[in-house]
Structure formats: C-alpha cells, structure tokens
Homo-oligomer: A and B are copies of this chain.
C-alpha cells in the first residue's frame, strides 16, 4: 500500500494499539494519532510505540486524518464515527474494527456528512487480554480481516481498505454485514458463550482439578464482560440461533450417551475431530 500521512485511531486498546504498532513497524504511516477518553490508556499506547500523537479531543485528533479507524467497543462505534465525520477532512474514509457489523453499517452506510464514507471492517484477531499493553505489530499477520461493503460502497474505498489490511499482513475476506454477523455468531460469539457457560458450570471446589483441557475450553470467558455484553446484544438474533444450534448438538450427544448408542457417540466424536483437525492448530 502507499504510505499514508495521518491515520487516526479512535480507541487504543489491544486492537487499536496493534494497528498503530503494525503501521509504525511497517512504516506505512507518517503519523498515527491515538484518540482516547483516558490519558492513561493513551500514555500506555504511546509508550508501547503504537502511536506518535495523543489526544482526548476527537475533533482535533481526526482533523488531518486521511483514514480514521474506530477501535472501541461496538456500542460506541456508530456515534464516534458520526462525530469523526463532522471533524475530519472532507471526503475522508472512516472504518472500524468492531466484532459486529450489521447494526453499525445500517447506522452509518451512506449517511455521513461532508462527503465522508464509512466502510466496515473486522480483523479476526485478538485475545481475552485487553489494553495496548498486549498490543503487537504481528496481531493481524496471516489472520483474516473481513470487510463488509454495501451497494453504496465505492470501489476505490474498498480497494484502499483492502490494501490497508493487506499491508498489516491480513488476508482480506469480503462479506455483506449480514453474512458477517451470521458467520461470526457461530465462529466467535458462540465459542465465547460456550466458554462462559462452562466456566459457570464448574464450582469452586473443583477448581484445583482443572487440567489444560478445561483451561483451553474456558479461556475466552476471561474476556472483557462489558465488551462481550455489547457484542451479544448487537448480534442478538444470530446469537440466539447459534445457541439453539449448539443446544441441538449437545442434545444429540446426550441422547447417544443416555441410550448407550456407542455407534452414534462414535460418529459424533469422529465428525467433531474431523472438523477440529481441519481448523488447524
């Protein structure tokens, strides 16, 4: 991608911080302006080398930006994009890194002021950890980033954002916002719920018996609760459906074991192993 002048990152946690680090290490932007609500987060991101400038004033932070990336929890994204559009250079492209897309895109597509456009994105990378302390320049390397254009999206905006994420090492996948949210309900939101429900099933007297299997299977439950509450609420319909599909699988397993149907149990475990092995390590 061609080197950018000023990139503004709104929200410099794990994702925003990692975008900043990757831009700087790959020399893809001259200035990376970190915009946050709290000086302490901005200081952490700056010390980590993720951003070159900091401000808590969004209007000021986006004033010179060619590209604005909103990396906050999903419930704040639409408002912050609208505010950025009122203060950034005319005709600038604004994107995000939110885990849900349908509501956000519906609120912003073709609706920004002063010739600015919103195009949604979602890097499928991250961790149960939060904050720029855990940011790394390699977070997106080899990972998929979904870009969610609509019928209003300009080809040059899509191309620019595709190049941007490819520049950070991502494999870009194009999906509609609706497709994205249906898919992520299964691949990301359901695993989070499965992990949280499992963590809630384990009582304290059993904690000392936890092996690596339980630790792996519940790891996601350590994620930021407020962030996840927002994701699950924003993708409510798909999330409910994914829970129902999961329940049907668990029910099939329960039936096989209850009726001592070893052939059915074996088929269940074999399909699961085949799927899991196909996902890679």
Contact = CB atoms under 8 A, between A and B. Distances in A.
Contacts of A217: 191, 194-195, 216-217, 219-220
A260 interface: yes
A183 B199 contact: no
Given A125-B211, A220-B216, A279-B215, A249 B200 contact: yes
A279 B254 CA distance: 27
A192 interface: yes
Instruction: Give the interface centre of A187, A228, A240, A281 by most chain B CB atoms within 10 Å.
Output: A187
Nearest to A278: B207
Nearest to A254: B243
A262 interface: yes
Nearest to A210: B279
Interface string A45-65: 000000000000000000000
A126 interface: yes
Contacts of A215: 279-281
Interface in A232-267: 232-233, 236, 239-240, 242-247, 249-250, 253-254, 257-258, 260, 262, 265-266
